[in-house]
Structure formats: C-alpha cells, structure tokens
Homo-oligomer: A and B are copies of this chain.
Amino acid sequence: MNALSPLGMVSEFPSENQKSSTEVAKDYFVEKDGEKFAGMHLLLDLWGARNLTDPAAVDRALRAAAQAAGATILHGHFHHFGPDGGVSGVLVLAESHISIHTWPERDFAAIDIFMCGACDPYQSLPVLKAAFEPTSVQLGEQRRGRIG
C-alpha cells in the first residue's frame, strides 16, 4: 500500500475542543510519537478471507472489533448483496467509524478503522483476523488531520 505524506498544519486554532453538556464527543486531537493529529486511520485489506457473506456475522465481528479498541458504537448498518453476495457495512462510532466491504468471490475484504480520542484501532486487528481468517493482510496507517 502506498504511503501518504500528510502536510503539516499551518493555521491557527481558536479554542480547545468543545464538548457538549449531554455527551462526551471524544473527538479531541491525539498525540503519539511526538505528532499531533485528529485520528488514526487503519486501512486493512484481507486476502484469502472467510465468513464474508453473512451480514449478521460481519456485524458481530465489527462490533467486537470496536469494543476491543474501546470505542462507543452509535449506529450500525450492514447491507447484503444477495444470498451469496458480499456485505457492505459500517459502524458509526463516537470516535469515528469502522467500515467493511467484502468480495466473497475473491475471498477479499477491505476494512477501515478510523478512531480518535483514547481508542487504539490496533486493538481491533486480532478480533478482525480471528473473525475473517485471512491468509494474508495488507495494513496501512494514515494519521488524519496532522497538525504537528
């Protein structure tokens, strides 16, 4: 997977993150390895994968993955492209999202794990590997909204 090179941030910030009185948005910028950014986005391509055609099972796998990373699930939707077809779905999280698109005819799935706040998307990886049993994996990391 090609690496992306984010630009450094050059603008000003008027204030610290706003948090509403009714819920914790958990969307503050994070700091890691001396960098500051909005969120960590993992792009995960699974090859030789299994269990790609049951939307309920895919839903359960992604929910377990979100929980493993400490994320808060706000909404989920999983679409099935026919009885033996692939699944497209997403969990909207307080900390961003996890999405999946499967191509069972190719034993392939593309997963995105985008998390900010205190969540660690890397904690989702063992859960997803256990659920889909890929024979090979491509993983890319993008630090979205890098400002320093």
Chain A residues with CB under 8 Å of chain B are 1-2, 4, 6-7, 9-11, 13-23, 25, 27, 29, 38-39, 41, 43, 45, 47-48, 74-75, 77, 79, 81-86, 88-90, 92-94, 96-97, 99, 101, 103-108, 110, 112, 114, 116, 135-136, 138, 140-142, 144-145, 147
Contacts and interface: CB of A to CB of B under 8 A. Distances in A.
A77 B75 contact: yes
* Protomer copies: 2
Contacts of A89: 92
A129 to B, nearest CB: 16
A27 B144 contact: no
A135 B103 contact: no
